[in-house]
Amino acid sequence: APTRDLAVAEIRTTIVDVPTVRKHKLSQTSVTAQSYVIVQVRLANGVEGIGEAATLGGPRWSEESVEGIKATIDTYLAPALLGQAADRFVTAGERLDAAAKRNNAAKAALETALFDAVGQSLGLPVAALLGGAVRTSFPVLWTLASGDPDQEIAEAEGKLAARLHRTFKIKIGAQSPEADLARLTRLSKALADRATLIVDANQAWDETTARRCLPRLAGLGIALVEQPLPAWNVAGMGRLRAQGGMPPLLADECVFTPHDMLAVAEAAAADAVSLKLVKHGGLVGLRKVAAVAEAAGIGLYGGCLLESSVGAAAHLHAFAGLRELAWGCEHFGPQILTGDLVTEPLRFHDFAVHLPDGPGLGVTLDPDKLRHYARS
Ligand code: MUC
Ligand code: MG
């Protein structure tokens, strides 16, 4: 068994680019490869923990890019943790916040690696360190984002037939609202009797457009609409919800911090919130945002940024201990990559993704794959 010397001895960062099986198109960007920073933290006892910072198309989904994340960790964040006790997660978070403002994806990757290393050292899954798992499997949706409705219907049919996914999130906002409505009408006709459909506009609409189009989405049976308005327009989301005939709204880019969550609750701006490590700065931060949402009666949705099995496993450990995860999760990331970064990828079956067993994150970095996908 490893010794109890949990001091942080070494921190390494690697940028990787993993091609996706098809183009993934959002309102503000389109990707054919997913870029991550993989963090490896070695403790004095020799145990190594891993974490992942995901991005989507450079600094477009949020302000962080893999190049910036790596530089910030190497220059500012890693020195704040070297020599520190890895099991003092709150103290580590304070030191990271003192070393750099925001940079939440970078901090999340580091904190994940601390949790993994401590879990392995103590022989406990990360979920146990966070209070214990309430669930070990999570309903998981698939995102339709090629923009071509024929391809999207065929892709959804394949997922249904394989019993992998029966909820689909459709990315809208890359084209005009009318074109998206025509596309959604086709998808709804083909799939709505057998699947739940939700949409993500990634902030593409203004309030006037949303007021006009949201009731039509409700009419097509769309069960949830994610971030229809720009992140700054929380008051607008509140005004939309106050109007009748609207579908439920999911807050994504407007909620990074617990303070953001409180503002959304005060403005009655969302029915649910998408929880993501890259937004909340780590597992401790994710659970804080979830607690504010719970206190306000706002539902929890297990969000992603197309993580590999490393980042997805970290999310599942954080989601495992939530009392209610009303909207399930969207950790399909490992399935959209042409290859994974771990020896045994997460398991997907029966429309669910399953919490990996074993201490720490329960996934093991594959050094050959890390080398293969590492940016030279
Ligand atoms: C987002 O905005 O939700 C998550 C799933 C997906 O397809 O895109 C991401 C980002
Ligand atoms: Mg979103």
Centroid of ligand 1 to alpha carbon of 7 (angstroms): 35
C-alpha angle with apex 277: 366 to 46, nearest 5 degrees?
40
The ligand 1 atom at the shortest distance from the C-alpha of residue 227 is 2
Single out the residue of 63, 34, 274, 30 nearest to residue 173, CA to CA. 30
Q: If you take atom 2 of ligand 1, which residue's CA is the nearest one?
A: 202
Query: Are residues 150 and 61 located together in one domain of the fold?
Result: no
Query: Are residues 116 and 137 located together in one domain of the fold?
Result: no
Q: What is the mean pLDDT of residues 274-288?
A: 98
Average pLDDT of the residues of the chain: 98
Residue 336 lies inside a defined structural domain of this protein: yes
Q: If you take atom 10 of ligand 1, which residue's CA is the nearest one?
A: 305
Query: Are residues 308 and 325 located together in one domain of the fold?
Result: yes
Pairing of strands 142-144, 167-171: parallel
Label residue 4 by pLDDT band (50, 70, 90): confident
Centroid of ligand 1 to alpha carbon of 304 (angstroms): 6
Query: Are residues 52 and 144 located together in one domain of the fold?
Result: no
Query: Are 138 and 353 contacting, i.e. CB atoms less than 8 angstroms apart?
Result: yes
The ligand 1 atom at the shortest distance from the C-alpha of residue 26 is 8
Which residues line the pocket of ligand 1, CB cutoff 6 A? Answer: 56, 143, 145, 171, 200, 202, 252, 303-306, 330
Is 1's pLDDT higher than 80?
Answer: no
Q: Which of 305, 331, 335 gets mutated to test ligand 1 (max ligand atoms within 8 A of its CB)?
A: 305
Task: Look up 52 and say whether it is catalytic.
Answer: no
Query: Are residues 270 and 330 located together in one domain of the fold?
Result: yes
Which H/E stretch holds residue 43?
Answer: strand 30-43
Centroid of ligand 1 to alpha carbon of 80 (angstroms): 31
Task: Look up 171 and say whether it is catalytic.
Answer: yes
Helices (H), the chain: 66-72, 78-81, 89-99, 104-122, 126-129, 149-161, 177-191, 207-219, 234-242, 258-266, 277-280, 283-295, 309-320, 333-336, 367-373
Residue 13 lies inside a defined structural domain of this protein: yes
Q: What is the mean pLDDT of residues 97-107?
A: 98
Label residue 3 by pLDDT band (50, 70, 90): confident
Query: Are residues 133 and 117 located together in one domain of the fold?
Result: no
Instruction: Name the closest ligand to CA 252.
Output: 2
Instruction: Name the closest ligand to CA 303.
Output: 1
Is 26's pLDDT higher than 90?
Answer: yes
Rounded-to-integer distance, Cα 324 and Cα 328, Å = 9
Residue 361 lies inside a defined structural domain of this protein: no
Centroid of ligand 1 to alpha carbon of 8 (angstroms): 33
Residue 99 lies inside a defined structural domain of this protein: yes
Label residue 296 by pLDDT band (50, 70, 90): very high
Rounded-to-integer distance, Cα 89 and Cα 277, Å = 15
Q: Which of 24, 165, 169 gets mutated to test ligand 1 (max ligand atoms within 8 A of its CB)?
A: 169
Q: Which of 142, 304, 337 gets mutated to test ligand 1 (max ligand atoms within 8 A of its CB)?
A: 304
Q: To which residue do tokens 């993989």 refer? A: 38
Residue 360 lies inside a defined structural domain of this protein: no
Single out the residue of 295, 236, 227 nearest to residue 261, CA to CA. 295
The string of pLDDT tens digits covering residues 340-373 is 999 999 999 999 999 999 999 999 999 999 999 9
- Find the catalytic residue in 64, 226, 307, 330: 330
Residue 359 lies inside a defined structural domain of this protein: no
Residue 244 lies inside a defined structural domain of this protein: yes
25's tokens: 């198109």
Query: Are residues 142 and 113 located together in one domain of the fold?
Result: no
Query: Are residues 192 and 339 located together in one domain of the fold?
Result: yes
Instruction: Name the closest ligand to CA 169.
Output: 1
Residue 362 lies inside a defined structural domain of this protein: no
Query: Are residues 210 and 338 located together in one domain of the fold?
Result: yes
pLDDT at 334: 98
Query: Are 239 and 266 contacting, i.e. CB atoms less than 8 angstroms apart?
Result: no
Query: Are residues 70 and 202 located together in one domain of the fold?
Result: no
Domain count, the chain: 2
What residue type is assigned to position 83 of the chain? G
Range of the domain at 77: 8-123+367-373
Centroid of ligand 1 to alpha carbon of 306 (angstroms): 7
- Find the catalytic residue in 171, 253, 276, 279: 171
The ligand 1 atom at the shortest distance from the C-alpha of residue 274 is 3
Query: Are residues 252 and 349 located together in one domain of the fold?
Result: yes
Q: If you take atom 7 of ligand 1, which residue's CA is the nearest one?
A: 143
Give the other-Cβ count within 10 Å of 66's Cβ. 25
The string of pLDDT tens digits covering residues 160-206 is 999 999 999 999 999 999 999 999 999 999 999 999 999 999 999 99
Query: Are residues 164 and 59 located together in one domain of the fold?
Result: no
Centroid of ligand 2 to alpha carbon of 168 (angstroms): 13
Which H/E stretch holds residue 132?
Answer: none
Q: If you take atom 1 of ligand 1, which residue's CA is the nearest one?
A: 305
Q: ipTM of the assembly?
A: 0.98
The string of pLDDT tens digits covering residues 30-57 is 999 999 999 999 999 999 999 999 999 9
Pairing of strands 196-200, 167-171: parallel
Write the CATH number for 62: 3.30.390.10
Write the CATH number for 189: 3.20.20.120
